[in-house]
Structure 1
Amino acid sequence: MTTNTFDPAPFLARPGVPELLAALKADEGAVRFVGGAVRDHLLGAPVSDLDVATIYEPPRVIGYLEDAGIKAIPTGIDHGTITAVSQGTVVEVTTLRADVDTDGRRAEVAFTTDWEEDSRRRDFTINALYADPTTGELFDYHGGLADLEARRVAFIGDPLERIAEDHLRILRFFRFHARFSDGAPDAAGLAACAEQANTLKSLSRERIADELLKLLALPDPHPTVEVMEAHGIFAPVLPEITAAGVERLKQLQLFEAEAGRKCRPIRRLAALLPREPDVARDVASRLKLSKEQRDRLSSAAIPAKGSARELAYRLGPLYAIDRLALTPWWESPSGKSRADAVRYVERWDVPQLPVKGGDLIRMGLEPGPLVARTLRAIENEWIDNDFADDARFDTIVDRHLACARADSEA
């Protein structure tokens, strides 16, 4: 539930924030809290990042901060952003801006002292809320409070103009809808995103991946992803995502709830893609995912086979859980349900093979390929016997050693 009043006390209680605001002349109206910090605070949600806007241009911001003994890092100085570190608290300080020229990927800006002009270059009404840190007065130039109350994500002004300024706003529209909205997306925003979906091709794949994974990290992305697929949002950049993949995502989310699993964005992305490792590798390469993410995405594309313990041993628990979660038709040799198997794997202390190559050499095998083949054969039978205990394992080793000696003498 939102409110038209803003209590700055929780922000002022953070170490170093009162000192930072004093340095930037907050008592003279020169600085305001802005954006997500205001939005989330009004919703009663946790506020992680703290952003403020100011009428002062970057060199003056840096001077004021340094005079107050506050570290100022010019992280985005060309666009007016200074990262301030005050008593360990990190605050992004951005000068009021107006767009001079945009190409859908980056913007050329001019600094201004007009708060409303700064608000017009922001994306959604709920992100263009400002709050005076001393009085708590709210400034809402575009109906953001009403949209927040209605749980509606709407572009500021003409959605086509906002998208033309930054094509990534298409994906942000859907991510914010999945996070904040109830029901169908804003009709005008949805129509504009569908019309301009091809402009996503101009974006770097890293930016697309970042937005997509943020969307998939939300508690219930499926309804929004379903709308995106139905309106052709993925087609220009990720044509591999089809209605079948959206249904797999729905089933995965149901399974996550049943098994008490945390959502994993990469696993959810794997659900959206065909169960083909080559396709997963190609998508991971296109999105420029990290090596760990690429490996996990391609592994998750392979259906689960064998026992849950074998999967956990061969792949590691996390990769094993991915395959189990994404293989609805998996059948357990031990009769465990898929949910039970996942919970078991999470707790299971994965054993190590009790024998090593050096042990086999000490038992009489000549060093070389025969040792590796024998070790592999022992390991496979040990796994097939459900990780046989000491007595049975000794029998397995003795039998394979005998076969290996016979092979070497033949």
Structure 2
Amino acid sequence: MAGVTLPDAGWRTWPGLDRLTTALDAASGHARWVGGAVRDSLLGLPVADLDLATSFAPQEVVRRLEAAGIKVVPTGIAHGTVTAIADGTMVEVTTLRRDVVTDGRHAVVAFSDDWREDAARRDFTMNALYADPATGAVFDWFGGLDDLAARRVRFIGDPLRRIAEDHLRILRFFRFHARFGEVIDADGLAACVARANDLMALSRERIAAELLKLLVAPRAVPVVALMQERGILRPVLPEIDAAGAARLATLAGREAAAGVPAAAIRRLAALIAPEAAEAIGARLKLSNVDRKRLMQATAGAGEEGPLALGYRAGVEGAIDRLLLAGQDPRPLLAWDRPVLPLGGGALVARGLAKGPDVAHTLRRIEDRWIAEGFPAEERVAAIADAEVDQALRSRRNA
């Protein structure tokens, strides 16, 4: 696929990019776009993040950018990466590198001026595509363009070696296949199966980050089924079985039918048994918000109906529970959670003494209001009158 150039994607004219590439002398071949922006532009997909590779050493990058009035944040300068902010546009700028030592989790790198050497250390051929900022000419040393055309995720070089360098590449292989792939690379699959136990050496946070991205990829359902069948997740998530993969497929169908976007935590909840939610949330070191959502998603939909559930559990949580329970969440999609038009002060004004009776009575009023479908203030006042009268009679008879 010689002579391939980037399409005229909108991101190529974002503010500040000309100033940035000029500062790094892209016209003389010292800077090129790399990775996701190149890959996604060739696929006609939207681009969110920009990465620029350069043959200049990190300190020279900083000097040149600052001289051009471009803000520089040393986000990973020890590994050759800085964040450049030009006219509000953020770009990750990384000096060409080669690996010196790798242990499956971390790498010691040396800086380089060899473009092919930099490409050779990347994971997949489709991620090792570079492009000239001015002409858009694409540079490809490892057949990435052919793999992109075939929708095939393929490791650069020996898959086993690539995995030994960074064990997370096992999950990345499946995540990228779920996002971009149509034809599974047999050598890559075999290497991932052979080295699946290497995942145990990774931090659970890294595993969770990759897994959650994978679960919302376009082809997550068949890819997760393949991973389960081949035992990829067994070393770190043995709870995920064939039944879980089937539940994920069912959930994805329900999401599509209801017009609800995929949600990673909801899909993780489908993969596991409800009683395992708390333990898995802790093992993966999910955020407190995500752990709570995971556990609530498996709690069932109840019998009050979608709006009542939406009021009590929140719209997001109710949609999770309804979809997992096989109930229709569409009544909630454009629904704004109402506010009970009455407070404790109104009950005191009706004769209740401040204290527990107010809270108890307010709860009974709220339950009736929910059961009646959230009627307006006039009806709530009538419910309040009746409940306060009942509370006062109970107090007198106590």
Q: TM-score range by the shorter chain?
A: over 0.9
| 2:137 partner letter | E
Q: Distance in 2 between matches of 1:348 and 1:20?
A: 46
- Of stretches 65-74 and 141-150 in structure 1, the one that deviates more from structure 2 is 65-74
Q: What does residue 292 of structure 1 align with?
A: 289
Do structure 1's residue 221 and structure 2's residue 220 form an aligned pair? yes
Asked if structure 2 preserves the Cα contact closer than 8 Å seen for 1:219 and 1:263, the reply is no
Q: What does residue 62 of structure 1 align with?
A: 62
| 1:181 partner letter | G
Q: What does residue 334 of structure 1 align with?
A: none
| Paired residue secondary structure (2:333) | helix
Q: What does residue 255 of structure 2 align with?
A: 256
Once the two structures are TM-superposed, the CA of residue 373 in structure 1 deviates from its matched residue by 1.9
Do structure 1's residue 408 and structure 2's residue 395 form an aligned pair? yes
Asked if structure 1 preserves the Cα contact closer than 8 Å seen for 2:6 and 2:38, the reply is no
Q: Distance in 1 between matches of 2:277 and 2:180?
A: 30
Q: Distance in 2 between matches of 1:381 and 1:42?
A: 57
Q: Distance in 2 between matches of 1:63 and 1:187?
A: 46
Q: Distance in 2 between matches of 1:166 and 1:47?
A: 26
- Of stretches 157-166 and 4-13 in structure 1, the one that deviates more from structure 2 is 4-13
Once the two structures are TM-superposed, the CA of residue 347 in structure 1 deviates from its matched residue by 2.2
Asked if structure 1 preserves the Cα contact closer than 8 Å seen for 2:350 and 2:385, the reply is no
Asked if structure 1 preserves the Cα contact closer than 8 Å seen for 2:132 and 2:138, the reply is yes
Q: What does residue 333 of structure 1 align with?
A: none
Asked if structure 2 preserves the Cα contact closer than 8 Å seen for 1:58 and 1:95, the reply is yes
Q: Distance in 1 between matches of 2:8 and 2:380?
A: 65
| Paired residue secondary structure (1:232) | coil
Deviation by residue 1:168-227 (Cα, 9 ceiling, x = unmatched): 1111100100111114x2111111111211211221222111111111222331011111
| Paired residue secondary structure (1:326) | helix
Once the two structures are TM-superposed, the CA of residue 241 in structure 1 deviates from its matched residue by 1.7
Deviation by residue 1:283-335 (Cα, 9 ceiling, x = unmatched): 2222222222222111111110121121011112111111111102x4xxxxx
Q: What does residue 314 of structure 2 align with?
A: 316
Once the two structures are TM-superposed, the CA of residue 361 in structure 1 deviates from its matched residue by 1.7
Q: Distance in 2 between matches of 1:3 and 1:149?
A: 13
Q: What does residue 44 of structure 1 align with?
A: 44
Do structure 1's residue 283 and structure 2's residue 280 form an aligned pair? yes
| Paired residue secondary structure (1:354) | coil
| 2:333 partner letter | E
| 2:371 partner letter | D
Deviation by residue 1:259-281 (Cα, 9 ceiling, x = unmatched): 111112221111112133xx222
Q: Distance in 1 between matches of 2:91 and 2:347?
A: 61
| Paired residue secondary structure (2:4) | coil
Do structure 1's residue 365 and structure 2's residue 362 form an aligned pair? no
Q: What does residue 114 of structure 1 align with?
A: 114
Q: Distance in 1 between matches of 2:40 and 2:161?
A: 26
Q: Distance in 2 between matches of 1:402 and 1:7?
A: 75
Q: Distance in 1 between matches of 2:2 and 2:345?
A: 70
Q: Distance in 2 between matches of 1:175 and 1:158?
A: 19
Q: Distance in 2 between matches of 1:372 and 1:51?
A: 56
- Of stretches 304-313 and 350-359 in structure 1, the one that deviates more from structure 2 is 350-359
Asked if structure 2 preserves the Cα contact closer than 8 Å seen for 1:8 and 1:133, the reply is no
Q: Distance in 1 between matches of 2:360 and 2:89?
A: 57
Q: Distance in 2 between matches of 1:262 and 1:8?
A: 29
| 1:60 partner letter | E
Asked if structure 1 preserves the Cα contact closer than 8 Å seen for 2:62 and 2:72, the reply is yes
Structure 1 residues 391 and 47: alpha-carbon distance in aligned structure 2, compared to 1, 3 A threshold: closer
Q: What does residue 270 of structure 2 align with?
A: 271
Instruction: Please give the TM-score of this superposition, normalised by the length of structure 2.
Output: 0.93
Asked if structure 2 preserves the Cα contact closer than 8 Å seen for 1:33 and 1:132, the reply is yes
| 2:320 partner letter | D
Asked if structure 2 preserves the Cα contact closer than 8 Å seen for 1:3 and 1:42, the reply is no
Once the two structures are TM-superposed, the CA of residue 240 in structure 1 deviates from its matched residue by 2.1
| 1:311 partner letter | L
Once the two structures are TM-superposed, the CA of residue 12 in structure 1 deviates from its matched residue by 4.5
> RMSD value over aligned CA atoms?
2.0
Q: What does residue 178 of structure 2 align with?
A: 178
Asked if structure 1 preserves the Cα contact closer than 8 Å seen for 2:6 and 2:131, the reply is no
| 1:263 partner letter | A
Structure 1 residues 356 and 161: alpha-carbon distance in aligned structure 2, compared to 1, 3 A threshold: same
- Of stretches 131-140 and 368-377 in structure 1, the one that deviates more from structure 2 is 131-140
Q: Distance in 1 between matches of 2:246 and 2:2?
A: 37
| Paired residue secondary structure (2:340) | coil
Deviation by residue 1:21-75 (Cα, 9 ceiling, x = unmatched): 2211222221222111211122222222121211111011111111222222211
Structure 1 residues 393 and 181: alpha-carbon distance in aligned structure 2, compared to 1, 3 A threshold: same
Instruction: Please give the TM-score of this superposition, normalised by the length of structure 1.
Output: 0.91
Do structure 1's residue 197 and structure 2's residue 193 form an aligned pair? no
Write out aligned runs for 1:393-404 (5 A). Answer: 393-404=380-391
Q: What does residue 211 of structure 2 align with?
A: 212
Once the two structures are TM-superposed, the CA of residue 395 in structure 1 deviates from its matched residue by 4.7
Q: Distance in 2 between matches of 1:281 and 1:268?
A: 15
Structure 1 residues 219 and 3: alpha-carbon distance in aligned structure 2, compared to 1, 3 A threshold: farther
| 1:67 partner letter | A
- Of stretches 73-82 and 126-135 in structure 1, the one that deviates more from structure 2 is 126-135
Structure 1 residues 96 and 315: alpha-carbon distance in aligned structure 2, compared to 1, 3 A threshold: same
Give the count of matched residue pairs.
395
Once the two structures are TM-superposed, the CA of residue 135 in structure 1 deviates from its matched residue by 3.9
Once the two structures are TM-superposed, the CA of residue 146 in structure 1 deviates from its matched residue by 1.1
| 1:401 partner letter | V
| Paired residue secondary structure (1:347) | coil
Aligned-pair identity (%): 55
